[in-house]
Amino acid sequence: MNTISVTAIDPSHDLDTFLRVPFQVYGTLPHWVPPLWMERRASLAPGATPYTRRARMHWWIATQGEKVVGRISAHVDPLALEREPGIGHMGLLAAVEDPAVVAALTTAAENWLRAQGMTRVRGPLDLHINQESGLLVDGFDTPPMMMMPHNPPGLGAALEAAGYAKAMDLLAYRGDPRQSFPESVRRLMDRPLPPGLVVRPARLGSSYDDEVRTMVDIFNDAWSANWGFVPFEPEEVALLGRELRPLIEKRLVWFAETDGQAVAFLVCLPNVNEAVADLDGRLLPFGWAKLLWRLKGRGLRTARVPLMGVRKAMSASLAGSMLPFHLIAALWPEVLARKMEAVELSWVLENNKPMRALAEMLCGPAYKTYRLYEKALA
């Protein structure tokens, strides 16, 4: 058996070497969707995003003989440290199902984080909690939706063998807009809105940037007490707006307002993974044409709701607790009009009982589980 070697990678020179690893280790994995090279370069290039400018990071690749067998990153985010002193993160994990490979990679990440003064490591996060999070541990029989991870079934056990334990599960729910809601849900959706409260579609065009800022302001407020939360910074809000703009459709984004002030929102995005699964990560020479036709011509059959929130001041009231039902009631006819067959609500923290109850009423039990792991750095 060849020795496992773990080598540090300088992303300013070897970014493509690092990005190539999932293609090398997951190329034949059922349901894995190759990421777009263009998007990955834009997200991970040093200094390209607010996160890569503020965080300390280090990356490694594992080889066994001549064969590439895995990769990992480690990062220290000052915003996360403000909320949880001593917390470091590992992520961008892609590896063969070999506990020895996973142990070698995580040891490299742990040693670096320890040298940075961290006392705990949590992950995988790509690169932070507001991006791809967790390791898939249940629900391997379907492809991932956009911005959701996919990995071999054995990686969870390999992390546990390396001393990691579950920190939190993130749940994904799948609803079929062609199916009628249960009568109990329909009654809630059909309740009249209280006076002064309206549900409206997003105002795009010249108001787009203002709508994105409002959306993130609600999100930062609604999620502020949630486990692992890190707020969006102003720079990240601008970046999010640019990234979402090609995907956002007016009547797939909804706001609830009371007396003219936005108090809740929902974002539904067409599942781009459906359009890029067979492009092998490349838009050239013909990928662009295929992608545009699938997005604008044929249309997509699946979508994901990655963002939803109700302001804390509103969520404790009866009217506030009803807002998610009214937002979903506004969304569902729109996805039906686009002939969509599935909408994923994800992800939901396992300890977020109100949101889990809502998702289970709408969709039934969770169909995928993603796990975040943690380990003390003694």
Which residues have CB under 8 Å from 367's CB, separation 6+?
Answer: 139, 142, 172, 173, 174
| pLDDT > 60? residue 291 | no
Give CA separation, 236 vs 50, 230, 306, in Å.
6, 12, 16
Beta-sheet pairing, 342-349 with 302-310: parallel
| pLDDT > 60? residue 61 | yes
Of 59-68, 93-102, 187-196, 366-375, which range is least confident? 187-196
pLDDT in tens, 65-86: 999 999 999 999 999 999 999 9
Q: What is the value of pTM for the model shown?
A: 0.94
Tell me the pLDDT band of 18, cut-offs 50, 70 and 90: very high
Which residues have CB under 8 Å from 255's CB, separation 6+?
Answer: 199, 200, 201, 202, 211, 214, 215, 262, 264, 265
pLDDT of residue 294: 55
Cis status, amide bond into 195, omega within 30 of 0 = no
Q: Cβ(376)–Cβ(162) under 8 Å?
A: no
pLDDT of residue 244: 85
Of 17-31, 123-137, 173-187, which range is least confident? 173-187
pLDDT in tens, 330-347: 999 999 999 999 999 999
Which residues have CB under 8 Å from 262's CB, separation 6+?
Answer: 214, 218, 255, 256
Give CA separation, 367 vs 208, 297, 354, 371, in Å.
33, 29, 18, 13
Average pLDDT along the chain: 92
pLDDT in tens, 246-289: 888 889 999 999 988 999 999 999 998 998 876 666 654 445 45
- Count of beta carbons in the 10 Å neighbourhood of residue 372: 22
pLDDT of residue 237: 87
pLDDT of residue 288: 47
Q: What phi-psi label fits residue 300: left (phi over 0), alpha (psi between -120 and 50 degrees) or beta?
A: beta
Domains annotated for the chain, with CATH where assigned, are 4-168 (3.40.630.30), 177-340 (3.40.630.30)
Q: Look-up: residue for tokens 């969304």?
A: 331
pLDDT in tens, 197-229: 999 999 988 899 999 999 999 999 999 999 999
pLDDT in tens, 292-309: 545 664 578 999 999 999
Q: Look-up: residue for tokens 């059922």?
A: 30
φ and ψ at residue 245, rounded to 5 degrees: -55, -45
Q: Which residue has the higher pLDDT, 273 or 111?
A: 111
pLDDT of residue 296: 61
